[in-house]
């Protein structure tokens, strides 16, 4: 399913380092083949997401940006329809995120949300 403009209005991005650190310190965590999903409640009514890809995982900026684009697209397609609102989500890329099929990345995100009890 492709994300529409209305779907994207329901999502905000995490940009501050303090938000990422808050989720890293005390959030629910679930590991899939493509990424690690962290989730914690926020005080807002919107869903917010952030993506992390480390240099340890991919040395080149081109490779890191490719992983970020793929994960960002999966968030835009899945989170508005399948995730609870009022939550912050952070996806930390793993080694398979660059080469894994996009449909499998979407499937991983739905699976993580189900396992964490955060799906609608």
- Measured CA to CA in angstroms, residue 70 lies from 26, 42, 44, 96, 103 at distances of 26, 25, 26, 12, 10
Instruction: Check whether 32 has a pLDDT greater than 80.
Output: yes
Q: What angle do CA 87, 82, 21 make, to 5 degrees?
A: 30
Number of domains in the chain: 1
- What pTM did the predictor assign? 0.89
Go through 9-40 and write b for each residue having 16 or more CB atoms within 10 A of its CB, e for each that does not.
ebbeebeeeebbebbeeebbbbebebbebbbb
pLDDT for 1 equals 61
Residue 120 counted as domain residue: no
Task: Quick: pLDDT tens for 65-113.
Answer: 999 999 999 999 999 888 888 899 999 999 888 889 999 999 999 999 9
Query: Domain of 89?
Result: 5-115
Here the CATH number for the domain that contains residue 98 is 3.30.230.10
């Amino acid at each position: 399913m492709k994300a529409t403009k209305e779907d994207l209005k329901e999502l905000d991005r995490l940009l501050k380092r303090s938000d990422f650190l808050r989720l890293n310190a005390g959030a629910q965590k679930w590991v899939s083949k493509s990424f690690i999903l962290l989730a914690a409640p926020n005080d807002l009514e919107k869903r917010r997401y952030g993506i992390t890809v480390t240099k340890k995982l991919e040395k080149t900026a081109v490779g890191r940006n490719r992983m970020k684009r793929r994960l960002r697209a999966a968030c835009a397609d899945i989170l508005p329809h399948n995730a609870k609102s009022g939550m912050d989500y952070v996806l930390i890329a793993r080694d398979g995120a660059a080469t894994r099929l996009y449909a499998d990345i979407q499937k991983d995100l739905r699976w993580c949300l189900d396992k964490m009890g955060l799906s609608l």
